[in-house]
Amino acid sequence: MPYIDQDLQNRWFDFGGDTIINTNRHIRLTQDKPSQSGWLWSRLPMSAPYFQIEFDFKVEGKGDGLVGDGFAVWLTKERAEPGPVFGNRDRFEGVGIFFDTYANSRQSHSFPYVMAMVGDGRTSYDNDHDGLSNRAGGCESDFRGKDVPTKGHITYSADAKVLKLKLQTKEWDQWEECFTLTDVTLPSNFYLGFSAITGEVHDNHDIISVSTWLLSKSDIQVGQRRNNTPPPSSKSGLGWIFKFIVAGGVFAAVVTVAYKMSQKNNNMKRF
Ligand SMILES: [Ca+2]
């Protein structure tokens, strides 16, 4: 927060589609209404061999029965290409993590469901079956409409080729592992993105903060040994890419600024 500077831009992130910035609260990828699609993407590629990403998100809406469709976190070679996969392009190269709140077909697991797909640039996301054939890992997770801040925590080691996701959805500082992917090689340069989509069913899909840390190899190993969050050391992350800090809602006045896409992106808006 407040996410944007006086030019209504952010130095490190670009956003578009139906995304709305509420400078004291959140980046709203979709509102709780039909046929929305929004995105948030890092402007610069990353190539760190060891890193940690933490993001605060909130998914909620007035619907108590059918809601959807969910949002995605992206670590991909491509960026800011709107499309059908939770608001982003299909046939991506890299990792997509889907926070799926709508059952497109009957599954053995409950919803919401969080799953990862490792895209090779050619394979399509199987939307009709909620990505069943694409699933590299996943977990059931009751993350909608929670009082506790809901968070995701990703760690990656290029050396071990391991990508891990932990979630905080129940209590503050109570992290639960969702999945550990092995044999994952991210593109040598990839972007960090978030996107969300609604159709007939809908929800607010909000990103509240994003923090990233460059880790050293020893940070990762210590973190794995303790099965805990590797502490971001002062020598590691500074100057790497960006850090958003949650400031708390101390200002009474809420200034909402709707980001107006460039003409180019406007043309890409509906797909
Ligand atoms: Ca789905």
* Residues 201-228: tens digit of each pLDDT: 999 999 999 999 999 988 877 665 554 4
Distance 158 CA to ligand 1 centre (A): 30
- pLDDT > 90 in the chain, percent: 76
Distance 68 CA to ligand 1 centre (A): 8
Tabulate helix, strand, coil % of the chain (nearest 5).
Answer: 10, 40, 50
Distance 92 CA to ligand 1 centre (A): 18
- pLDDT of 240 over the 50 cut: no
Distance 85 CA to ligand 1 centre (A): 10
pLDDT at res. 225: 58
Distance 238 CA to ligand 1 centre (A): 37
Distance 86 CA to ligand 1 centre (A): 9
List the domains of the chain with CATH numbers.
13-267 (2.60.120.200)
Count Cα neighbours of 93 within 13 Å in the Cβ-side half-sphere. 11
- pLDDT of 57 over the 50 cut: yes
At residue 99 the predicted structure's pLDDT band, cuts being 50, 70 and 90, is very high
**What is the phi/psi pair of residue 221, to 5°?**
-65, -40
Distance 113 CA to ligand 1 centre (A): 8
Distance 221 CA to ligand 1 centre (A): 35
pLDDT at res. 224: 59
pLDDT at res. 65: 83
The chain-wide mean pLDDT, for the chain, equals 86
pLDDT at res. 223: 61
Task: Give pLDDT tens digits for 131-187.
Answer: 999 999 999 999 999 999 999 999 999 999 999 999 999 999 999 999 999 999 999
E strand residue ranges, the chain: 13-17, 20-22, 26-30, 37-42, 50-60, 70-76, 82-85, 88, 93-100, 113-120, 135-140, 150-157, 162-168, 176-181, 191-197, 204-214, 256-258
- pLDDT of 58 over the 70 cut: yes
Distance 205 CA to ligand 1 centre (A): 15
Residue 40 to residue 173: CA distance in whole angstroms: 26
Q: Residue 201, SS3? A: coil
Distance 101 CA to ligand 1 centre (A): 6
Contacts of 13 (CB under 8 A, 6+ apart): 3, 40, 41, 42, 43, 210, 242
> What 8-state DSSP symbol labels residue 54?
E
For the ranges 228-232, 236-240, 245-249, the one whose mean pLDDT is highest: 228-232
Q: Please list the residues that pair with 40 across neighbouring strands.
A: 15, 194
Neighbours of 229 (CB within 10 A): 14
Distance 128 CA to ligand 1 centre (A): 7
Q: Residue 16, SS3? A: strand
Distance 67 CA to ligand 1 centre (A): 10
**What is the phi/psi pair of residue 57, to 5°?**
-135, 160
Distance 100 CA to ligand 1 centre (A): 5
Distance 241 CA to ligand 1 centre (A): 32
Neighbours of 235 (CB within 10 A): 9
Q: Provide mean pLDDT across the span 115-127.
A: 98
Distance 131 CA to ligand 1 centre (A): 8
pLDDT at res. 61: 97
Residue 165's alpha-carbon distances to 59, 77, 83, 91, 176, in angstroms, are 18, 20, 24, 22, 9
- pLDDT of 20 over the 60 cut: yes
At residue 236 the predicted structure's pLDDT band, cuts being 50, 70 and 90, is very low
Contacts of 248 (CB under 8 A, 6+ apart): none
Q: Provide mean pLDDT across the span 80-106.
A: 98
Distance 231 CA to ligand 1 centre (A): 34
Distance 80 CA to ligand 1 centre (A): 21
